[in-house]
A and B are shown apart, each in its own frame.
Chain A
Amino acid sequence: MIPASFEYAVARDVAHAIELLTSSGGEGKVLAGGQSLIPLMKFRLAQPAFLVDINRISGLAQIRENGDLRIGALVREADLDMNPIVRERYQILVDTTRVIADPLVRNMATVGGNLAHADPANDHPATMLALRASVVARGPTGERLIPIDEFFVDTFTTVLGPNEILTEIRIPKPPARSGGAYLKLERKVGDFAIAGVAVMLALDEKGKVGAVGIGVTNAGPTAIRARKAEEILRGQATDDKTIAAAAAAAAGESKPWSDLRGPAEYKLDVIRVLTQRAIRKAVARATGGK
């Protein structure tokens, strides 16, 4: 399959990329890892008139800690997986990146693209919702910081303007006694999730839940945040009854659809079970386990 013709330009830096996007009058599309965009173009589901290739912009592929964790938009999934800071302190990101597509796709696919593509089946959105992340967007009038709760508008739609570029993801420093986990049920390696659940939580000295975030993959037109489930956990000990109630609430807030991956009723139960397991795993990690 061959995509429709398009004009193509390599951006030298972020300012140049914004200039190119602006000059295209809304017809431009950013090419990062291309692992979602190129298949869409081959199926002619997307036919951008102009591609702005940002792969050669230096400085967008760094991971650094500056109080918070800062992940450059061009960081490849394979590099996120192998990063020593991420491996040591952000296990939920390792969980997430390792179940995205397959190892070959992960050599190209970028974290920024996984978010900006805004596919509810993508895995990072739920994790970033759980982590209470923010994304940095740069456009012709400067830079703005967008809380992840405000980022996703609809399937394949974010609040990014046509000449704005996602440049960085910022993740708050995890508090003491915190842990997270992302669990995904997939039919086979490389498939999108039947369902996926991300849980990030912190425990106080008595073992009660303080800050907590729960995100769900493939549970609506965008990844969703399970606020009621978070509310049930907050301030409570993580006993079986509380975890079960939170998991039931997460399923109640989810709106999966029936498709070739299973009927909606089945997916709701998968979400319930994955939420329970992800909470338990997050608690185990918060208390020094795996």
Chain B
Amino acid sequence: MAVETAPTTSKGQRTLKIHVTINGAPHDVDVEARTLLVHFLRENLGMTGTHIGCDTTNCGACTVLLNGRAVKSCTVFAVQADQGTVATVEGLEKDGKLHPIQEGFHQEHGLQCGFCTPGMMMTAVALLEKNKQPTELEIREAISGNLCRCTGYVNIVKSIDHAARVMRETAEGKA
């Protein structure tokens, strides 16, 4: 981390410049220190794939990956992402091809209203990064900070399991 260049505000100064790599693309943006990461994404950058649900650190609809870890972006300041990387749902699809987790939600009917889906998928991506073959219990534990009020979770668990299987098969095919 480039601490020497890290941002500091002082009296009278309203914004500070941060450098963040989002879904692989660099961004240099002026933000207020109090700007939450989710507002930075949605309002400063117009990336509305990340949702605001409860806005109180409960529901997980705003989940993004910050330096590879799934976090609730309503409970992180954008300045904390300075010099770091953020991954959002917009970065999952590549060149018109859906990410296996998106395929999984499609195939297994993992959403109804879809509001929780971006957060669910980002949490799942982080899980599958660490654990290639999660058990049902491990999947349920991993998404225990993401609330869904439609599905009863059954198809979400199936969707994540589907993605895990596809990702394993792809990895084996390449090996």
A interface list, Cβ under 8 A from B: 1-10, 12, 31, 34-35, 38-39, 41-42, 51, 53, 55-56, 78, 101-105, 107-108, 189-190
Among A2, A31, A42, A108, the residue within 8 A (CB) of B71 is: A108
Interface-lining segment among B30-38, B107-115, B152-160? B30-38
Is B45 among interface residues, defined by CB-CB distance under 8 A?
no
A144–B16 Cα distance when bound, in Å, is 35
Is B70 among interface residues, defined by CB-CB distance under 8 A?
yes
Kindly supply a per-residue 1/0 record for chain B positions 1-18, scoring 1 wherever the CB is within 8 Å of any chain A CB and 0 otherwise: 101101111110010100
- Output the least CB separation between B4 and chain A (Å): 8
- Output the least CB separation between A230 and chain B (Å): 33
A93–B123 Cα distance when bound, in Å, is 24
| A residues near B6, Cβ cutoff 8 Å | 10, 12, 56
- Output the least CB separation between A150 and chain B (Å): 31
Cβ-closest 8 pairs across A and B: A102-B145, A8-B33, A10-B6, A104-B145, A189-B144, A9-B8, A107-B69, A3-B34
| B residues near A8, Cβ cutoff 8 Å | 7-9, 16, 33, 77, 79
Q: Known: A2-B39, A3-B34. Is A104-B1 also a contact (CB below 8 A)?
A: no
Q: Known: A3-B34, A10-B8. Is A38-B70 also a contact (CB below 8 A)?
A: no
- Output the least CB separation between A281 and chain B (Å): 20
| B residues near A55, Cβ cutoff 8 Å | 80
A51–B9 Cα distance when bound, in Å, is 10
- Output the least CB separation between B169 and chain A (Å): 26
Complex contact A42–B3 (CB within 8 A):
no
A2–B31 Cα distance when bound, in Å, is 13
Q: Known: A4-B34, A5-B32, A6-B34. Is A108-B144 also a contact (CB below 8 A)?
A: no
A56–B79 Cα distance when bound, in Å, is 12
- Output the least CB separation between A77 and chain B (Å): 12
Is B88 among interface residues, defined by CB-CB distance under 8 A?
no
Complex contact B3–A104 (CB within 8 A):
no
Which partner residue on chain A sits nearest B82 by CB separation?
A10
Complex contact B71–A56 (CB within 8 A):
no
- Output the least CB separation between A102 and chain B (Å): 3
